[in-house]
């Protein structure tokens, strides 16, 4: 049998996602791909993959997986999650490093408490057929990823590699900061379809992520936004991060599985530097928005990219000293302090 | 920009440019959107990621690490000045359509609301060649117009939870065919035997913006035969090239 990861427990909504299905939006096909492309990229880097290789996107509750291969190298990107290995020594491995597993090993992903999504990358990627150039799962269309759907118990995810390469495990000594502060938004393109009061309200208010949150988008509870000249526009294209406001005045932030076009006015769009944070929003999270100009948004993106490149350049071999660190983290986990993974110190370092 | 205020070149975030040519649904505007998309595709500007033509605007997705807003907006404006739509040839797609029985759950209601007989509704629906304005909402979902005036009704107040794939639907000035099973609020007046979206194809959508579609009525028995033939790949849709 070919090398595979076997799904013992699927978690809440675990899907295969990559850098997205680029080039088919003109056919009405959503981009899909990772809700948080930064975490996908970092997880892939830790196992030596290209930035947009397909990995497992884990939402809210992590899966249990069993290795059915002579060996496999995996890495978890997660802001406060971890891998629990059901090996003989029962190790807990923190996020932001790779680890090499053997045939029969079981791993459980402890999903983060403070972010919607985490990513598990495998060295070499999954041996799944690309659909329209991408291995991302588009559930509504029933294609891509593993049989076009979220994982279920008993699934066998075929691996491209039979065993881990000799290059050794890696870790990120300075994991990324989760970030806080308002999501930065470029106003428009239909800001003229809102009253000036609505625009002022939008930028001055706290919104709460409603329970109706999925890969298509998150609905935001908070002050209603009044339209000017009705709430229907002639349908036009929708960008990742666009904030559309239907007739009820409640904003909807569009994410990875968004429709390619839409008929509601878009008050603005979250700038690309903040999209990974937007993708990590969980129901109940508070969010505020701040206006930036498009030039400023693009400068933020360049700074964000430079920050990621610095993180990636700082990857080091996961040496013996890390194992000691792991033991510390494991102790934390055993005592229940999963949220003890605070990266605020690293925050200052990566600026 | 002329005195009308169009075109408008606007950012949608920092990785997409909206080129709005108008704010109306209009065939001539749509043709210019398609022509601008063609011109941008030919220009092959590094950093342009993909193009999404819609009724009256083109969304240009670009990589903000490769292009800045002023740069891509400037290029789009230059190309817009040079576009010509006159001599384009179009594809006319002859689309078999069946308006019988359970394939047309809303036909009776449409007849009642429009004051027409079901036969007249079907006749009117097939009486014009539709222009494909855009694909959106679902993979391969074509927004086609314009529907003859007497057939124009608003969407259902309560959308259906499940619209069967290949249903012919109408809403306001548009008609469409649902490619996949989906929720939907348009009224269903028939079905086509051919799949509008097939991930096995390099170009997965049957229709493209700028195409013309003529619905040609078939009886139920013929529809069933055609459905089998199309599903097996044994039938081919009749497509001809026509002058714009």
Here the CATH number for the domain that contains residue A271 is 2.40.100.10
The mean pLDDT of chain A is: 90
Domain coverage including residue A134: 4-170+317-339
What is the count of residue pairs from A and B with beta carbons less than 8 Å apart? 150
Instruction: Answer yes or no: do B52 and B173 share one domain.
Output: no
Measure Cα distances from A145 to A15, A62, A127, A251, B216 in Å: 7, 18, 10, 30, 38
Classify residue B231: in a domain, yes or no. yes
- pLDDT for B219 beyond 70: yes
DSSP tag of A205? S
Q: Determine, for residues A239 and B141 on separate chains, whether the beta-carbon distance falls below 8 Å.
A: no
Residues 2-31 of A with CB under 8 A from B: 22-30
Chain A residues whose beta carbon lies within 8 Å of the beta carbon of residue B20:
189, 236
Chain B residues whose beta carbon lies within 8 Å of the beta carbon of residue A22:
49-50
pLDDT in tens, A218-231: 999 999 999 998 88
Classify residue B2: in a domain, yes or no. no
Residues 108-127 of A with CB under 8 A from B: none
Classify residue A261: in a domain, yes or no. yes
Classify residue A109: in a domain, yes or no. yes
Instruction: Give the mean pLDDT of B157-183.
Output: 94
Q: Which domain-ending residue is among B81, B101, B122?
A: B81
Q: Which domain-ending residue is among B52, B81, B110?
A: B81
pLDDT in tens, A15-32: 999 999 999 999 999 999
Chain A residues whose beta carbon lies within 8 Å of the beta carbon of residue B37:
26
- pLDDT for A320 beyond 70: no
- pLDDT for A345 beyond 90: no
Lowest-pLDDT choice from A90-104, A126-140, A310-324 = A310-324
Chain A residues whose beta carbon lies within 8 Å of the beta carbon of residue B141:
28
* Percent of chain A at pLDDT exceeding 90: 82
> SS3 for A122?
strand
Question: Residue B25: which of A29, A234, A266 has the nearest Cβ?
Answer: A234
Q: Determine, for residues A236 and B59 on separate chains, whether the beta-carbon distance falls below 8 Å.
A: yes
Angle at A326 between CA A323 and CA A331, to 5 degrees: 135
* Percent of chain A at pLDDT exceeding 70: 90
Classify residue A348: in a domain, yes or no. no
Instruction: Answer yes or no: do B99 and B197 share one domain.
Output: yes
Instruction: Answer yes or no: do B59 and B29 share one domain.
Output: yes
Tell me: cis bond preceding B111? Omega within 30 of 0 counts: no
Instruction: Give the mean pLDDT of A310-319.
Output: 92
Say which residues have a Cβ less than 8 Å from residue B221's Cβ, sequence separation at least 6: none
Question: Which one of B10, B12, B68 makes the best mutation probe of the A interface by having the most chain A beta carbons within 10 Å?
Answer: B12
Q: Determine, for residues A22 and B50 on separate chains, whether the beta-carbon distance falls below 8 Å.
A: yes
Q: Counting every residue, how long is chain A?
A: 351
Nearest-Cα residue of chain A relative to residue B182: A140
| B30 has a chain A CB within 8 A of its CB | no
Instruction: Answer yes or no: do B40 and B105 share one domain.
Output: no
Q: Determine, for residues B205 and A27 on separate chains, whether the beta-carbon distance falls below 8 Å.
A: yes
Question: Residue B139: which of A27, A236, A241 has the nearest Cβ?
Answer: A27
Q: What pLDDT, on the 0 to 100 scale, is given for residue A1?
A: 66
Chain A residues whose beta carbon lies within 8 Å of the beta carbon of residue B135:
26-28, 260
Classify residue A176: in a domain, yes or no. no
Classify residue B3: in a domain, yes or no. no
Cα dihedral value B22, B26, B31, B36, nearest 10: 10
Q: What pLDDT, on the 0 to 100 scale, is given for residue B3?
A: 58
* Whole-structure pTM value: 0.91
Q: How many domains does one find in chain A?
A: 2
Classify residue A177: in a domain, yes or no. no
Say which residues have a Cβ less than 8 Å from residue A72's Cβ, sequence separation at least 6: A3, A5, A100, A101, A122, A123, A159, A161, A163, A164
pLDDT in tens, B96-130: 999 999 999 999 999 999 999 999 999 999 999 99
**Complex ipTM, two decimals?**
0.92
Q: What pLDDT, on the 0 to 100 scale, is given for residue A346?
A: 26
Question: Which one of B5, B6, B11, B14 makes the best mutation probe of the A interface by having the most chain A beta carbons within 10 Å?
Answer: B14
Q: What span, in angstroms and rounded, lies between the C-alpha atoms of A26 and A43?
A: 30
Instruction: Answer yes or no: do A91 and A193 share one domain.
Output: no
Instruction: Give the mean pLDDT of B170-175.
Output: 96
Nearest-Cα residue of chain A relative to residue B205: A27
Classify residue A345: in a domain, yes or no. no
Question: Residue A26: which of B10, B52, B141 has the nearest Cβ?
Answer: B52
């Amino acid at each position: 049998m070919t090398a595979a990861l076997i799904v013992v427990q699927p978690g809440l909504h675990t899907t295969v996602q990559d850098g997205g299905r680029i080039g088919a939006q003109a056919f009405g096909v959503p981009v899909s791909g990772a809700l948080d492309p930064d975490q996908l990229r970092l997880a892939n880097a830790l196992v030596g993959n290209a930035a947009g290789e397909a990995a497992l996107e884990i939402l809210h509750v992590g899966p249990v997986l069993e290795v059915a291969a002579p060996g496999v190298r995996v890495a978890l990107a997660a802001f406060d999650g971890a891998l629990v290995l059901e090996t003989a020594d029962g190790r807990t491995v923190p996020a932001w490093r790779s680890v090499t597993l053997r045939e029969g090993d079981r791993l459980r992903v402890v999903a983060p408490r403070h972010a919607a999504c985490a990513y598990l990358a495998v060295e070499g990627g999954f041996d799944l057929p690309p659909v329209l150039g991408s291995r991302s799962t588009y559930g509504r269309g029933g294609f891509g990823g593993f049989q076009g759907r979220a994982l279920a118990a008993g699934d066998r995810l075929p691996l491209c590699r039979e065993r881990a390469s000799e290059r050794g495990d890696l870790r990120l000594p300075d994991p990324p900061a989760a970030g806080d502060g308002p999501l930065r938004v470029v106003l428009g393109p239909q800001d003229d379809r809102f009253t000036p009061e609505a625009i002022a309200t939008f930028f001055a208010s706290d919104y709460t992520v409603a329970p109706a949150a999925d890969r298509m988008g998150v609905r935001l509870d908070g002050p209603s936004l009044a339209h000017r000249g009705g709430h229907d526009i002639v349908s036009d294209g929708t960008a990742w991060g666009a904030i559309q406001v239907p007739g009820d005045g409640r904003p909807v932030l569009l994410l990875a599985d968004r429709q390619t076009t839409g008929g509601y006015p878009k008050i603005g769009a979250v700038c690309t530097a903040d999209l990974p944070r937007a993708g990590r929003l969980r129901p109940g999270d508070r969010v505020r928005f701040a206006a930036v100009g498009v030039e400023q948004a693009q400068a933020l993106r360049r700074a964000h990219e430079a920050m990621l490149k610095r993180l990636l350049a700082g990857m080091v071999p996961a040496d013996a000293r890390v194992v000691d660190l792991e033991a510390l983290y494991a102790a934390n986990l055993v005592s229940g302090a999963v949220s003890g993974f605070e990266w605020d110190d690293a925050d200052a370092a990566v600026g | 920009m002329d005195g009308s205020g169009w075109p408008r070149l606007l950012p949608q975030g920092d990785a997409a440019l909206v080129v709005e040519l108008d704010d109306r649904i209009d065939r001539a505007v749509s043709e210019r959107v398609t022509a601008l998309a063609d011109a941008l595709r030919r220009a092959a500007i590094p950093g342009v990621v993909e193009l999404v033509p819609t009724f009256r605007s083109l969304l240009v997705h670009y990589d903000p690490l490769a292009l800045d807003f002023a740069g891509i907006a400037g290029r789009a404006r230059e190309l817009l000045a040079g576009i010509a739509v006159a001599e384009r040839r179009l594809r006319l797609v002859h689309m078999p359509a069946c308006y019988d029985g359970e394939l047309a759950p809303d036909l009776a209601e449409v007849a009642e609301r429009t004051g027409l007989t079901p036969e007249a509704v079907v006749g009117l629906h097939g009486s014009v060649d539709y222009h494909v304005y855009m694909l959106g909402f679902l993979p391969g979902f074509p927004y086609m117009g314009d529907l003859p005036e007497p057939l124009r009704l608003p969407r259902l107040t309560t959308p259906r939870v499940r619209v069967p794939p290949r249903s012919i639907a109408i809403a306001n000035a548009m008609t469409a065919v649902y490619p996949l099973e989906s929720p939907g609020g348009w009224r269903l007046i028939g079905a086509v035997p051919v799949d509008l979206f097939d991930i096995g194809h390099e170009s997965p959508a049957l229709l493209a913006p700028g195409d013309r579609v003529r619905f040609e009525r078939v009886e139920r028995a013929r529809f069933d035969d055609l459905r089998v033939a199309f599903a097996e790949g044994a039938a081919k849709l009749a497509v001809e090239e026509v002058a714009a």
